[in-house]
Amino acid sequence: MSTKTTETGANSPLPVLLPFRIEPTRLSVPRLAPVHALLFGAGLALLAGTAWAQADAAQLSPLEVIIKWAPLLLSGFAFNIVISMVAMALGTAAGLGVGLSMLSEKPLIARSAWALTQFFRNAPWLVLLFFVMFLVPFQITVFGIKIPLPDWAKATVGFSLPVMANVAEIVRGAVRSVPSTQWEAAESLAFTPRQTMWRIILPQCVQRMLPPWMNLYSLVTMATVQASIVGVSEMLTLTAQVHTAEGGRPELFAPLYGFALLCFFLYCYPIDRFTARLERRFHIR
Amino acid sequence: MDVIPAWFQELYETTGLNFTVFYDPYDWHRYVDGLRMTCLLAVTTILVSLLIGAVGALLQTAPSRIVRSVVNVYVVVFRNTPPLVQIFFFYFGVGAMLPAGQDQFGLRQPFIDNVEWAIIALSLFAGAFNIEIFRSGVEAVPKTTVEAAEALGYTRLRAYVYVILPLALRVCLPALNNNLVNLLKTTTLAYAIAVPETLYAVKQIWSESQNVFEMMLVLFVTYGVLVGLLVWIMHRWEKALRIPGYGR
């Protein structure tokens, strides 16, 4: 008998119960190509184009408006990045300290560091920003010298508070993930606790902390636009001003804010990709 | 019942700590209305974003390439742009282009008001994160379980709804918990388009009563309680959904 296995279904000469056929469930996710970014850009351009078509021709088209004001808007964006970097630097330094305090042997220190972390982690960023903007004076006097605190400096401090709490959690998690044998080995080699931490544990933590740290940086960058709510003249504030300067035409809103979205996307998306790659590399199996 | 207002009144007279919300009924009503708005925003955006997450994770495994790329572009774009700019983009940008009616004075009356736009923008923002979270859960469902469902004759959709999603949900609950807490905190951004939520109400109170510090305290405690409540509910849910024999 030469019954072919390919002869199934209605073609089959035998009345066999065949397995239920189902479309295979594909769990893999396709990679995002630059084509998609291009499509996004094209979609925005289309949006801008249709809006312009409704206006009369004497006015600048949305694209021309964006090109005209791009230097100003991009300088605002650069300011956002400066704020995010300074906030990240301050927050990381403070967060490292708080995170290590959470691991302290002394319960009082560990408890208060934990409370600090929970407080700043669970408060909304905007509320923390208001907190710093309204409760920190606009200038402080140290030994008779008046040091002015401009808005953007206060905003930066405001952003570094939640960063501190998040970095503290990252540090704590990374230190906890180091195998305890490492601690024991260090102890048997007569390292002091301080030396163990700085020379053995923390260097191993750096690579584990890098992906979440970069994620956090991306979040901080995206949070910096909140400074516009409290009156720091960064990109979003400038966008609103440009809109007013161009006569406040309603069809300009979408292209201008779309431009801001695009700037942040182009800055944050590479960070996101790179983070994902690092995460895969340092993935603990 | 007058004990609490009287006590705060006395606190103001003796120490200068002016908690107007607790003895001034007008401020109290504003504060409660703000709180109600925050709860409305939080509950609706959480539900809608969960729906977006579940549907998006299903569509990410769709046979059609176009559908998958559309979902991916949505996720990537919304994850990598600031939520505040998204809110502005929707409220000012898209909202200004949509047709609008007129009220009795002939003023422009958009069909979607700022509260609804805030809900739409925040849901889309959190939904993008939820899709990724659900995807990680779907990927963690054992292949054999999916095959077993297929062997039992489940269609793709039914296998997803009745087998994969319930299992995936249990795996990704901790990550989901994080994202929903984050969403609750992000609702404060609705302040920027004048949605009268807690931050907005409290800001109004402190600009009138000049009690920034006290109201700031109230604000922190409010959000602390709200986040605590959400975390508690999520933990309860996590416990209720626990599969015996999995995890610790």
Give yes or no for a contact between B96 and A254, defined as CB atoms under 8 angstroms apart.
yes
Is position A45 within any domain? no
Return the beta strands (E) in chain B as ranges.
100-102, 108-110
pLDDT of residue A12: 59
Going by pLDDT thresholds of 50, 70 and 90, the confidence category of residue A4 is very low
Mean pLDDT over each residue of chain B, to the nearest integer: 88
Chain A residue nearest residue B192, CA to CA: A229
- Say whether B156 and A19 touch across the interface (CB within 8 A): no
| Residue B201 placed within a domain | no
Least Cα separation, residue B1 to chain A (angstroms) = 31
Q: Which of B85, B82, B111, B117 is nearest to B99 (CA)?
A: B111
Contact B192 A124 (CB under 8 A): no
In a domain, A54, yes or no: no
**First-residue to last-residue Cα distance in chain B:** 47
**B130 within a domain of the structure (yes/no):** yes
Do A254 and B93 count as a contact with CB atoms less than 8 A apart?
A: yes
In a domain, B66, yes or no: yes
Encoded amino acid at B125, one letter: F
Report the percent of chain B where pLDDT is more than 90.
Answer: 56
> Which whole-number Å values give the CA distances from A42 to A48, A255, B68, B128, in the listed order?
10, 12, 19, 21
Per the structure, the complete domain to which residue B173 belongs is given by 43-93+111-196
Give domain status of residue A156, yes or no. Answer: yes
Using alpha carbons, select from B60, B88, B90, B94 the residue that is nearest to residue B74. Answer: B60
Q: Which residue of B has its CA nearest to A28?
A: B61
- A56 band by pLDDT with thresholds 50, 70 and 90: low
Instruction: Give the up-direction half-sphere exposure of residue B145: CA atoms within 13 A in the CB hemisphere.
Output: 14
Flag the least confident range among A40-54, A63-77, A271-285.
A40-54
**Residues in B touching A254 (Cβ below 8 Å):** 89, 92-94, 96-97
Q: For a pLDDT cut of 70, what percent of chain B falls above it?
A: 98
Q: Is the CB of B61 less than 8 angstroms away from the CB of A25?
A: yes
* Contact between residue B8 and residue B19 where contact means Cβ atoms under 8 Å apart: yes
Q: Is residue A61 part of a domain?
A: no
User: Is residue B136 assigned to a domain?
Assistant: yes
Q: What whole-number distance in Å separates Cα of residue B144 and Cα of residue A70?
A: 54
Q: In this structure, what CATH number is given to the domain that contains residue B74?
A: 1.10.3720.10
Domain count, chain A: 1
Range of the domain at A249: 68-282
Does the CB of A245 have a partner CB in chain B at under 8 Å?
no
Note whether A223 and A125 are within 8 A (CB): yes
Q: What is Dmax (Cα atoms) for chain B?
A: 75
DSSP three-state, residue B109: strand
Quote the CA–CA distance of B191 and B201 in Å, as a whole number.
Answer: 9
| More confident of the two residues B187 and B102 | B187
Of B72, B93, B156, the CB nearest to A29: B72
Can you tell me the mean pLDDT for B192-220? 89
Asked if residue A134 is part of any domain, the answer here is: yes
Highest average pLDDT, of A7-11, A163-167, B101-105, comes from: A163-167
Residue of chain B with shortest Cα separation from A55: B97
CB-based contact B69 A30, cutoff 8 Å = yes
Of A36, A127, A251, the CB nearest to B219: A127
* Residue B21 domain-assigned (yes or no): no
What are the structure tokens assigned to A275, written together?
A: 């983070």
Contact between residue A137 and residue A96 where contact means Cβ atoms under 8 Å apart:
no
pLDDT at A1 over 50: no
The reported pTM is 0.81
Tens digits of per-residue pLDDT, A198-253?
A: 888 888 888 888 888 999 999 999 999 999 888 888 888 888 888 888 887 878 88
Q: Does B16 or A171 have the greater pLDDT score?
A: A171
Q: For chain A, what is the radius of gyration of the CA atoms? A: 28
Q: For position A2, what pLDDT does the model report? A: 47
Q: How does pLDDT run across B136-186, given as a tens digit for each residue?
A: 999 888 899 999 999 999 998 899 999 999 989 888 888 899 899 999 999
Considering only CA atoms, which of A49, A128, A95 is closest in space to residue A212? A95
Which of B72, B84, B203 is closest, CB to CB, to A226? B84
How many angstroms separate the CA atoms of A229 and A227, rounded? 5
Whether residue A36 and residue B72 make contact (CB cut-off 8 A), yes or no, is: yes
More confident: A85 or A284? A85
Examine residue B162 and state whether it is found in any structural domain, yes or no. yes
Q: Give A-chain residues touching B83 at CB under 8 angstroms.
A: 222
Q: Which of residues 20-49 of A touch B (CB under 8 A)?
A: 20, 22-23, 25-27, 29-30, 32, 36, 39-40
- pLDDT given for residue B1 in this prediction: 61
Q: Report yes or no: A257 and B85 within 8 Å, Cβ to Cβ.
A: yes
Which one is predicted more confidently, A155 or A142?
A155
Q: From residue B99, how far is each of A19, A66, B105, B108, B212 by CA, in Å?
A: 54, 24, 17, 10, 40
Quick check: A151 and A133 in contact, CB under 8 A? yes
Q: What is the per-residue pLDDT for A28? A: 52
Mutate which: B66, B80, B230, B232, vs A, most A CBs within 10 A: B80
- Measure A36 CA to nearest chain B CA, in Å: 7
Higher pLDDT, A163 or A54: A163
**B236 to chain A, closest Cα gap in Å:** 19
- Structurally, chain B folds into a number of domains equal to 1
Is B19 contained in some domain?
Answer: no
How is chain B split among helix, strand and coil, in percent rounded to 5? 80, 0, 15
Kindly state the tokens that stand for A65: 């408006």
Contact status of A102 with chain B (Cβ, < 8 Å): no
In this prediction, residue B246 has a pLDDT band, given cuts at 50, 70 and 90, of low
For residues A101 and A115, what is the distance between their CA atoms, to the nearest angstrom?
11
∠ CA A171-A176-A181 to the nearest 5 degrees? 135
Any domain includes A58:
no
B111 or A215: which carries more pLDDT confidence? Answer: A215
Q: What is the pLDDT of residues B28-87, one digit of tens each?
A: 999 999 999 999 999 999 999 999 999 999 999 888 889 999 999 999 999 999 999 999
Backbone angles phi, psi at B100, to 5 degrees: -135, 155
**Minimum mean pLDDT range among B100-104, B137-141, B231-235:** B100-104
In a domain, A212, yes or no: yes
Residue B4 lies in a domain: no
Query: Residue A49: enclosing H or E segment and its boundaries?
Result: helix A34-54
